[in-house]
Structure 1
């Protein structure tokens, strides 16, 4: 089997990249608590609820599969297994805060979501990443949900980072941990390698 190395990539990009996210799936222990959070607190509508029997790893599993619609036609999807033991097993496979979803929003939408979260008595936090500003909240399932406002020059930043992506990856693999996000406030003091 041939492998691709960082020094000489052999794979070509797809002729056409995926069009957009179709959906992001996660489990939920309680569809109604989940609906209240996404629909009533955040204002993201429930657009479909499939009740299914699905063949998973050779076994027919009964599950409820809810979709909450986003502006571009993509969705947040949540599974709940009818069998509580299977629900527990599948949920345990999900990971930490690094497993999260991020949705692009306008600054006004981020502010509205922040107000809605506070009005619901929930906690959220904001992180300034330089390239974007993100509002984070945990949903009833423990999934971290991020609402991201891009930097005003997001297109220019993306072009610059794409041009240097291979070089930066090689640098990381070689052990060079010098930050390169010069837009982030905590590295804007000249410590970033640009």
Structure 2
């Protein structure tokens, strides 16, 4: 089972559209326009990912809703959590594809953080809402020991740190 779509509010729908269609390559395929619970109305834009008609990322452009001037569109700002805690990650199938996305993001004037987490390799940037977006390549497999460690961590109340990342690198757009 996988998710059908992730829905987020948009601070600036035209900037969101430019990022997700022009940079990310997701295709805007549908909009639903309707009243919003609690008052006002919204446009719900659906972007098809990788040509798959069952996988979408969607954004709400909200209009005339109560409190709209006070909304926080960055998920971490809204939740009061540290930056990067709430983020969304898309899968890639090869190191080449990950490198191509990094180059594409840098070419679009976006800074990129790359981390080798020892079992997956990730690149991160921010979308126009300020949310962290990730592409991730799984590079390892999972053992019974990995599962046992994860189960044990459910009850731990002190930090027992994982090994540090094998690599971290900041790719600044101005250096690309």
State the TM-score, normalized to the length of structure 1.
Answer: 0.70
**1:148 aligned to which of 130, 133, 136:** 136
User: Greater strand share, 1 or 2?
Assistant: 2
Equivalent position of 1:99 in the other structure: 86
For 1:1-194, list aligned pairs within 5 A: 19-55=1-37, 59-71=38-50, 73-83=54-64, 86-91=67-72, 94-95=75-76, 96-106=83-93, 107-151=95-139, 153-154=140-141, 156-157=142-143, 159-170=144-155, 172-173=156-157, 175=158, 177-181=159-163, 184-185=165-166
* Cα deviation, residue 37, structure 1: 0.7
Q: Give me the whole-angstrom Cα distance separating, in 1, the residues matched to 2:19 and 2:73.
A: 21
Larger radius of gyration: 1
**Helix, strand or coil at the partner of 1:134:** strand
> Contact conserved, 1:27 with 1:91, CA < 8 A, in 2?
no
Structure 1: any 5+ residue segments left out of the alignment? Answer: 1-18, 187-194
Q: Secondary structure at the match of 2:30?
A: strand
SS of the aligned residue for 2:72 comes to helix
RMSD over equivalenced CA pairs, Å? 2.4
Q: Which segments of 5 or more consecutive residues in structure 2 lack a partner in the other structure?
A: 77-82, 168-176
Say whether the 8 Å CA contact 2:73–2:130 is kept in structure 1. Answer: no
Q: Which moved more, 1:92-101 or 1:38-47?
A: 92-101
Residue-pair matches, total:
158
Deviation at 1:163, TM superposition (A): 3.4
Counterpart-to-counterpart distance in 1, 2:69 and 2:132: 19
Greater relative contact order, per chain length (Cα 8 Å cut-off, separation 6+): 2
- Provide the C-alpha distance between the structure 1 equivalents of 2:66 and 2:112, rounded to a whole number of angstroms: 31
8 A Cα contact 1:27 1:90, kept in partner: no
Could you tell me how far 1:145 is from its partner in structure 2?
0.3
CA–CA distance in structure 2, aligned partners of residues 67 and 179 of structure 1: 39
Q: Distance in 2 between matches of 1:110 and 1:46?
A: 23
| Displacement after TM superposition at 1:114 (Å) | 1.4
Aligned-partner Cα distance in 2 for 1:132–1:39: 26
